[in-house]
Chain A
């Protein structure tokens, strides 16, 4: 039996904007795994996700999505990816239904498959009543949910979310978290960046901590705690302990 390829594999990824933003990053995420990528502002999280999404060219290194070399065959890799940035990328003058139709068209879905899937997503995210209203008057939360529906409509194998819970009320945040959990159960790999460490603590199978473009620690919460001074510490304590001044040399700590 052949082993299933990693949903995402990064090898020795480098990117510099004058100053190094990503510095030799290695990462592997299994299908169906929920991976939280944590780091302070400017640590290189968004740059990493943008490189995987094909929006930035790495200076060096390899990106494999579902076994496909994303640098050699970006179109095939993009077919398997959904990327949801922190600022929802919507068209103000389109309705959610039209937006989903556009996304389904871009990803080359069949109409008979896309239509029912769009309906189901809009109902699930409580956007059904607003499906024919233009996005220009939507609240931040509704925009975020519409963008999430767009990310999920083409059934990606790798779902990348940059701060997906920002601006959502408690109910909507719960809906999104439930949907993400469902996705991982269905075999979709989810990589999420967040500053809400409680979300990572509760949802993630593994947590990666990135600082100055390098992965300084990786593993489940218990493993990360073992790297920190306090064994019963919260993820916040562990994160602050590992990313604090002068503590970036724990690279070997990745499990």
Chain B
């Protein structure tokens, strides 16, 4: 009797990936999933047409290699982040992995299949956005643009191999327990890097950009901007240089195969230690001390402890703030830079307050792990809600205290306006999440908007309204009342109406 072949094992892993995607897309069956993906691909081909036009134009002006280099700076961390997420999931997806590791399959075969599945997932996630643009560019400017596809595939192999090595290195270095959190946080941070990088060139001062442009136009031989150097190999590959593409593909394949060949046993060891960790007794994390039994404090402390002990969630929440920073830069640039810094930071801080409060309110309200237990306690729902709001407000306040203080020191009027709007924005998005709770696990924080698009839209709408209102108020414009009115309208539309208790089957 022979054990499962690699193609069949890969098919199994890809089926699981596909089912996860269908669940994310809320597709009820495979046909619906294909239909949704097909529609998205078609729509992206349509939407990407004008972008492809500007790309081909830019390529004609600046050279395709420089354009591809800029793209690679963004895509490489994105793919590495995808690889890290996939590798962490591969190590910690218990039920399935326990079954595979207890079977007569070799660890290397399991790792090969998992790694290929991770690579295919990453290719799909990034290719979904890039390849339609490449197709459009090819239609407009020639088939050379199609080289982006194989270059992307080679990049995926390289980053997946590196991500696997990094994850298993973390297991060896930090142990399985910490690797999970650190790996997820690292993946998110690396992923965020591409968002910042995507914007950074636009935000550089004009003289910096000019200098950079001059260096790229006439690069010093062997220097950082010389496309002939090995550093530019991926860019040349994506730009359609056949020799570079062949080399890049060989490099990607080599790293991927080497990582599987060298790490097969380490993967099995890592997976087994991760499994052991799931069943192991956790280390002590608190010291004996006196009991504190005030009801309000008990409710608040519980929320803070749960938040503080989930570094992945905290990183997700803080990353939302990171994504908000480009807004400040856009406004700062729009206002002409220089002394307008305080005014440009104000809406960003308001938006951060709104997003942080929303995320923390979701964690406190929707992902209550023992909601029935809390409901059975002799505490009114109103008090529970109040204490949870307090618990949410404290970390938001703590996080924003320093930038708000700095803002008030630079410009007290702008500081006061920002504080007022930040409070209003935080209270409104927190209230929205308490009014429209989603029954979700804490780890599903980033999926909440996909699951309830209306709440997500309203939440972003509220953030935007209060951020715009803060900006207009800082500029002393009467139009401030318009976004405030819009925010009030959104809140009124979503305020709770008399509701009955949800039935629950016996």
Residue A79 at the B interface, CB < 8 A? yes
Residue B214 at the A interface, CB < 8 A? no
Q: Do A101 and B309 contact each other (CB < 8 Å), given the known contacts A54-B375, A83-B376, A114-B293? A: no
B376 with A78: CB separation less than 8 A: yes
- Chain A: minimal CB distance from B378 (Å): 4
Partner among B297, B369, B501 whose Cβ is within 8 Å of the Cβ of A105 = B297
Majority secondary structure of chain B interface residues (helix, strand, loop or mixed) = loop
A118 to B292, CA, bound (A): 12
Within 8 A of A (CB), among B376-435: 376-380
Mask, B214-257, CB within 8 Å of A = 1, is 00000000000000000000000000000000000000000000
Q: Do A105 and B506 contact each other (CB < 8 Å), given the known contacts A97-B288, A132-B285, A134-B285? A: no
> Chain A: interface residue count, which band?
35 or more
A36 to B74, CA, bound (A): 65
Within 8 A of A (CB), among B450-497: none
Residue B8 at the A interface, CB < 8 A? no
Residue A98 at the B interface, CB < 8 A? yes
Majority secondary structure of chain A interface residues (helix, strand, loop or mixed) = mixed
Mask, B306-337, CB within 8 Å of A = 1, is 10011000000000000000000000000000
A105 with B298: CB separation less than 8 A: yes
Residues of B with C-beta under 8 A to A50:
372, 504, 506
Residues of A with C-beta under 8 A to B279:
137
Q: Which of A41-49, A183-191, A230-238 contacts B (4 or more CB under 8 A)?
A: A41-49
Residue B211 at the A interface, CB < 8 A? no
Mask, B348-387, CB within 8 Å of A = 1, is 0000000000000000000001101111111110000000
A101 with B291: CB separation less than 8 A: yes
A44 with B293: CB separation less than 8 A: no
Mask, A31-67, CB within 8 Å of B = 1, is 0000000000011111100100111110000000000
Residues of B with C-beta under 8 A to A92:
369
Partner among A21, A101, A107 whose Cβ is within 8 Å of the Cβ of B292 = A101
Residue A175 at the B interface, CB < 8 A? no
Instruction: Count residues of chain B with CB under 8 A from any CB of chain A.
Output: 43
Residues of B with C-beta under 8 A to A219:
none
B305 with A55: CB separation less than 8 A: no
A43 to B373, CA, bound (A): 23
Residue B302 at the A interface, CB < 8 A? yes
Within 8 A of B (CB), among A133-177: 133-134, 136-137, 150
Mask, B108-148, CB within 8 Å of A = 1, is 00000000000000000000000000000000000000000
A79 to B380, CA, bound (A): 12
CB-nearest residue of chain B to A116: B291
- Chain B: minimal CB distance from A154 (Å): 9
- Chain B: minimal CB distance from A76 (Å): 7
Residue A196 at the B interface, CB < 8 A? no
Residues of B with C-beta under 8 A to A89:
369-370, 372-373
Residues of A with C-beta under 8 A to B306:
91, 93-94
CB-nearest residue of chain A to B370: A89
Residues of A with C-beta under 8 A to B501:
56-57
A214 to B250, CA, bound (A): 73
- Chain A: minimal CB distance from B280 (Å): 6
Residue B287 at the A interface, CB < 8 A? yes
Residue A5 at the B interface, CB < 8 A? no
Within 8 A of A (CB), among B269-314: 278-288, 290-295, 297-299, 301-302, 305-306, 309-310
Residue B505 at the A interface, CB < 8 A? yes
B372 with A101: CB separation less than 8 A: no
Residue A24 at the B interface, CB < 8 A? no
B506 with A102: CB separation less than 8 A: no
B506 with A42: CB separation less than 8 A: yes
Residues of B with C-beta under 8 A to A75:
378-380
B370 with A107: CB separation less than 8 A: no
Q: Do A78 and B378 contact each other (CB < 8 Å), given the known contacts A55-B372, A105-B295, A108-B295? A: yes
A44 to B278, CA, bound (A): 36
Partner among A21, A22, A91, A109 whose Cβ is within 8 Å of the Cβ of B302 = A91
B283 with A106: CB separation less than 8 A: no
Residue B503 at the A interface, CB < 8 A? yes
CB-nearest residue of chain B to A119: B288
A115 with B290: CB separation less than 8 A: yes
A110 with B281: CB separation less than 8 A: no
Residue A255 at the B interface, CB < 8 A? no
**Contacts A78-B376, A102-B301, A102-B302 known; 10 new A-B pairs at CB < 8 A:** A50-B506, A55-B372, A57-B501, A85-B372, A94-B302, A95-B285, A105-B293, A105-B299, A109-B293, A137-B281
Q: 3 closest A-B pairs (Cβ-Cβ)?
A: A105-B298, A89-B373, A89-B370
